[in-house]
């Protein structure tokens, strides 16, 4: 907030975790300019309905609760042409609100102050990057200001990440309450907790920040007190006097030197810029300010949050719950660390390497499987089916892959498909398993045949699905969380699944090398061609309207039926989870019974008393009563 009035600053980019004052920054910036430095302003939200919601839930209460703004805007009691949800006029200027999906609204008027919220959710338009359109509207003002705020999303695709990297990359440090060393807090570097030596079980309740210099643990009260010592430092690397400097690296090298009493001043000096709470980087040779402050960019994690729900034990518990799930890892990195998530799915995986780790197991179903789902890919002359067993932590086993040949337009083919879905799988100890859910691809030339087959078997959780048309690499949940409206329930529609997110998760799991949560097991009987289909697609980067995004691409001449079947089987599992199934609990309940000891007891068991006849409940009707006679 101090950067709003810092001399020389024209852009502010805030890439921080959730619930860390991003909205308060926009609110106070709006109130400051409306009250003390009026001019035309534009507040941009991802969509127009989000702009209306921001106006009703943020701007209107701010005006009502602030006396000086109440005097300027009239407290919201009057309604005229200059006071609507998307337009607020005041003496000397106005504040317009717009959705980023409408380039006409962004380019309609010149503005002096632009505030862009949730920029990573902005749609890509034909006119270009919405952030650039907003900045172009400020060309006629010398004292312009552009503010961008958002939690990041995916590395190399996130708009707020790109904007942060363009700025001076300010990071915060706090003072250790024990040794007064300044720590640039990072979760994986400074937060530690206990583990049980016997079982290796983590104890997140013991998580606390530890100073990197003295090793002392901070209590929660000390962490909150340390937040009062926050300083912001420019950390962007720079070149000056023929040398390349990386402020953070040089600082770490300096404080680790036992002969260095003042690491900051001795290496290259961060100097405070008067009262604006920023320590600017200076060249250690010539002494000039080496990093311009025209674009002030900030990042911070939950460790800087003052709220009790964001204490280190809470963050550690979230990390332990998310570390084995690629989808939860994205959420954790974005919402807790305030950093963009780096996809691990981009690396190539050799089909031969997967084939070499194939296994043999006794029975149709190995020990560990709790639930079986099926994924069906419909082609013009066949239906391919993969049966997948799922265990604790979504560890999976490919149980079988069959091809039902025939014309999908005929009833006879679907009868054979149904017989496959009704198969019973046996474990080595004799326990039987059946398919609990299946997803069938309804795209292609046989959509109505798939609809008819799935509609008749909804009670068995056989769902017709269709991959979402995710333009520009958009990621949506594998299984939709929104329920269909009452108006659409009478008409049968396929379930729209997030194929991009499913393929991200599958590719990440293929890269796991140790059995456990998420690991994928394959049978030794599977041929190399199946593995080639499973790894056929590649994650490529595209650019549209100046924005980068990634999509899964199938090279020409290659087949991917095995991957599609796994996507649909994974979607079926997500459908069961959405219905409330607890996979880990089911996995624990289906574990094989422990083996009984072979040694017989040497003494005869004590005689058992014959069971006594249970007395009837006091409210139960007596035999021969009128009630019993009436009931026959």
Please report, rounded to a whole number, the percentage of residues in the chain having pLDDT higher than 90.
58
Confidence class for position 618, pLDDT limits 50, 70, 90: very low
Give the Cα separation of 39 and 570 in Å (integer). 53
Q: How confident is the model at residue 616, as a pLDDT?
A: 45
Average pLDDT score over the chain: 86
More confident residue, 487 or 154: 154
Q: What is the pLDDT of residues 556-606, one digit of tens each?
A: 888 999 999 999 999 999 999 999 999 989 988 888 766 555 555 445 555
CB under 8 Å to 437, separation ≥6 — which residues?
A: 373, 374, 461, 462, 463, 572, 573, 575, 576
pLDDT at 486 over 70: no
Sign of CA dihedral 569, 571, 573, 575: negative
Would you say residue 252 lies in a domain? no
Residue 414 to residue 548: CA distance in whole angstroms: 43
Counted residue by residue, the chain has a size of 632
Query: In angstroms, rounded to a whole number, what is the distance separating the alpha carbons of residues 597 and 316?
Result: 42
472 within a domain of the structure (yes/no): yes
pLDDT over threshold 80, residue 109? yes
End-to-end, the C-alpha distance of the chain in Å comes to: 82
- 307 is written with which tokens? 């709220």
Instruction: Give yes or no for residue 621 having a pLDDT over 70.
Output: no
Inside any domain, residue 494: yes
Count of C-beta atoms within a 10 Å radius of residue 383: 25
* Of residues 405 and 541, more confidently modeled: 405
Q: What's the pLDDT at 525?
A: 92
- Does 462 fall in a domain? yes
The domain tally of the chain equals 1
Q: How far is CA 419 from CA 78, 115, 423, 435, in A?
A: 69, 59, 7, 11
pLDDT single digits (tens) 34-80: 999 999 999 999 999 999 999 999 999 999 999 999 999 875 455 55
Domain presence at residue 330: no
Residue 214 φ then ψ, to 5°: -100, -15
Q: Which of 57-66, 298-307, 410-419, 548-557 bottoms out in mean pLDDT, i.e. has the lowest?
A: 548-557
Q: What is the pLDDT of residue 276?
A: 77
pLDDT, position 248: 86
pLDDT on residue 611: 52
In sequence order, the 6+-apart residues with CB closer than 8 A to the CB of 405 are 381, 382
- pLDDT for 289 equals 86
Looking at residue 596, what is its pLDDT?
52
Mean pLDDT of 194-221: 92
pLDDT of residue 308: 85
H helices of 217-337, in order, are 220-226, 247-255, 263-267, 312-322, 326-332
Tell me whether residue 170 is in a domain: no
What confidence category does residue 515 fall into, taking pLDDT thresholds of 50, 70 and 90?
A: very high
Q: pLDDT-derived band of residue 199, with 50, 70 and 90 as boundaries?
A: confident
Task: Determine the pLDDT at residue 606.
Answer: 55
More confident residue, 276 or 605: 276
pLDDT digits (tens, 9 = 90+) for 440-475: 999 888 899 999 999 999 999 999 999 886 666 778
Task: Give the pLDDT of residue 274.
Answer: 58
Residue-number span of the structural domain to which 434 is assigned: 351-586
Give CA separation, 229 vs 176, 182, 226, 315, 482, in Å: 9, 9, 5, 22, 44
Task: Specify if 534 maps to a domain.
Answer: yes
Q: Are 298 and 232 in contact (CB under 8 A)?
A: yes
Residue 258 pLDDT greater than 80, yes or no: no
CA distance 376 to 446: 13
Q: What is the CATH number of the domain that holds 453?
A: 3.30.420.240
Per-residue pLDDT tens for 3-14?
A: 999 999 999 999
Q: Give 240 or 207, the one with higher predicted confidence.
A: 207
Q: Which residues pair with 243 in a beta bridge?
A: 240
pLDDT band at 631 (very low <50, low <70, confident <90, very high): very low
Q: Of 383, 376, 374, which Cα lies nearest the Cα of 412?
A: 383
104 vs 623 pLDDT, higher one: 104
- For the entire predicted model, the pTM comes to 0.72
How far is Cα 21 from Cα 308, in angstroms, rounded to an integer? Answer: 15
Do the domain assignments include residue 248? no
**What does the pLDDT read at residue 242?**
86
Say if strands 243-245 and 238-240 run parallel, antiparallel, or are unpaired: antiparallel
- Residue that is written with structure tokens 């720079």 in the block: 238
């Amino acid at each position: 907030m101090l950067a709003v009035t810092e001399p020389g600053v024209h852009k502010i980019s805030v890439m921080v975790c959730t619930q860390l004052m991003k909205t308060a920054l926009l609110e106070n910036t709006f109130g400051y300019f409306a009250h003390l430095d009026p001019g035309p302003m534009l507040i941009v939200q991802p969509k127009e309905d989000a702009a209306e919601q921001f106006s009703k839930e943020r701007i209107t209460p701010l005006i009502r609760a602030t006396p000086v703004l109440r005097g300027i805007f009239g407290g919201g009691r009057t309604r005229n042409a200059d006071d609507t949800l998307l337009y607020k006029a005041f003496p000397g200027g106005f504040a317009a609100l717009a959705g980023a999906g409408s380039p006409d609204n962004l380019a309609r008027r010149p503005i002096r102050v632009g505030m862009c919220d949730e920029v990573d959710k902005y749609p890509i338009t034909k006119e270009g990057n919405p952030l650039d359109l907003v900045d172009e509207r400020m060309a006629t003002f010398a004292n312009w200001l552009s503010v961008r705020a958002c939690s990041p999303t995916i590395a190399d695709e996130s708009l707020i990440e790109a904007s942060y990297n363009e700025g001076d990359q300010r990071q915060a440090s706090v003072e250790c309450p024990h040794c007064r060393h300044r720590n640039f807090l990072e979760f994986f570097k400074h937060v530690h907790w206990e583990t049980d030596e016997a079982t290796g079980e983590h104890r997140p309740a013991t998580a606390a920040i530890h100073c990197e210099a003295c090793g002392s643990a901070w209590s929660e009260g000390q962490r909150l007190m340390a937040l009062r010592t926050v300083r912001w430092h420019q950390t962007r690397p720079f070149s000056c006097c023929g040398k390349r400097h990386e402020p953070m690296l040089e600082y770490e090298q300096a404080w680790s030197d036992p002969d260095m009493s003042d690491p900051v001043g001795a290496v290259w000096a961060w100097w405070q810029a008067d009262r604006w709470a920023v320590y600017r980087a200076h060249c250690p040779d010539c002494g000039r300010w080496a990093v311009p402050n025209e674009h002030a960019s900030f990042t911070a994690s939950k460790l800087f949050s003052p709220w009790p729900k964001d204490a280190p034990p809470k963050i550690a518990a979230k990390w332990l719950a998310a570390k084995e799930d690629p989808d939860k890892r994205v959420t954790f990195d974005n919402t807790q660390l305030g950093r963009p998530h780096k996809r691990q799915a981009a690396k190539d995986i050799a089909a031969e390497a997967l084939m070499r780790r194939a296994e043999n197991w006794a029975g149709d179903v190995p020990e560990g499987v709790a639930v079986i789902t099926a994924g069906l890919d419909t082609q013009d002359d066949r239906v391919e089916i993969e049966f997948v067993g799922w265990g604790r932590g979504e560890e999976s086993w490919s149980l079988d892959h069959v091809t039902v040949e025939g014309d999908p337009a005929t009833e006879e083919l679907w009868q054979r498909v149904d017989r496959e879905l009704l198969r019973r799988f046996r474990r080595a100890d004799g326990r039987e398993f059946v398919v609990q859910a299946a997803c069938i691809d309804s795209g292609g030339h046989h959509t109505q045949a798939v609809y008819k087959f799935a509609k008749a078997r909804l009670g068995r959780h056989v769902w017709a699905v269709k991959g979402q048309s995710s333009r520009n690499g958009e990621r949506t949940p594998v299984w939709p969380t929104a329920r269909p409206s009452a108006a659409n329930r009478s008409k049968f529609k396929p379930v729209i699944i997030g194929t991009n997110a499913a393929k991200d998760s599958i590719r990440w799991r293929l890269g796991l090398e140790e059995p456990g949560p998420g690991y994928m097991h394959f049978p030794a009987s599977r041929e190399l061609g199946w593995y080639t289909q499973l790894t056929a697609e590649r994650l490529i980067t595209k650019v549209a309207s100046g924005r980068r995004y990634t999509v899964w691409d199938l090279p020409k001449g290659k087949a991917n039926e095995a991957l599609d079947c796994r996507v649909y089987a994974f979607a079926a599992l997500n459908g069961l989870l959405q219905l409330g199934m607890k996979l880990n609990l089911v996995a624990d309940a289906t574990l094989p019974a422990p083996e009984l000891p072979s040694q017989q007891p040497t003494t005869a068991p004590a005689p058992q008393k014959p069971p006594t006849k249970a007395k009837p409940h006091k409210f139960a009707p007596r035999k021969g009563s009128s009630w019993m006679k009436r009931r026959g």
